[in-house]
Amino acid sequence: MPLLHGVLTLANLPVLLREVRKDFGPKRIWLTEYSYQTNPPDPGGVSRAVQAQYIAESALRVRYAPFVDILIHFMLRDESRRAGWQSGLFSATGIAKPAFNSFRLPIVQAARRGLRTTIWGQVRPGAGPRWYQLQRLARGRWAPVGLTSLTSPGGFYTRVVGARRGTRFRIFVFGLNATSRSILIH
């Protein structure tokens, strides 16, 4: 593969896909050791909220990327040594970072045109369709948006809703008794 200038991230995933296809043909791709270090504790890392956002957005990018079969997150838990890697879903002391919730319940604004907003996500873990409820923050309380719904057999969902800029959404998953991170419509 020719030397690629710059850094490959999921933001420029089409560059990697194009290079692989050009050099090797239509090969299946596994993206391994994907992660973002967090600050704290790494001063060069992104905030924990940004790490959570990037992890959710990466799930969407990979879901629709041709020939990409898997995305493997690098490190479940931060290394405890000061010079170690700090990209885990849990801190070195075992406390869940916001990224953990984004990994198991990714949710993102996938598209927007006027008030028409597409929300995409996945419910993990599990097998087969899973029950979830899309919720909107209104007057300081989470309220259901439409009816309780089922994901696809792979745990994916796509919902199109009317939403103004600044509206917050999340999902509640019945089998896990858990909520996703909230997203702010932009």
Smallest CA-to-CA distance from 28 within 40, 43, 36, 17 is with: 17
Q: Which pairing describes strands 68-73 and 29-34: parallel, antiparallel, or unpaired? A: parallel
Instruction: Give the domain ranges of the chain.
Output: 1-104, 105-186
Q: Is the pTM above the cut of 0.85?
A: yes
For residue range 38-51, what is the model confidence (pLDDT) as tens digits?
A: 998 888 899 999 99
Does residue 156 contact residue 118 with C-beta atoms inside 8 Å?
Answer: no
Q: Tokens 């596994």 belong to which residue? A: 30
CA distance 4 to 20: 11
Q: Is the per-residue pLDDT at 161 higher than 60?
A: yes
CA distance 56 to 33: 16
Q: Tokens 């696809």 belong to which residue? A: 152
- Superfamily (CATH) of domain 105-186: SOR catalytic domain (2.60.40.730)
CA distance 119 to 109: 5
List the alpha helices (DSSP H) in the chain.
Answer: 13-24, 48-63, 98-104
How many residues are recorded in the chain?
A: 186
Q: Is the per-residue pLDDT at 5 higher than 60?
A: no
For residue range 95-132, what is the model confidence (pLDDT) as tens digits?
A: 999 999 999 999 999 999 999 999 999 999 889 999 99
CA distance 19 to 109: 28
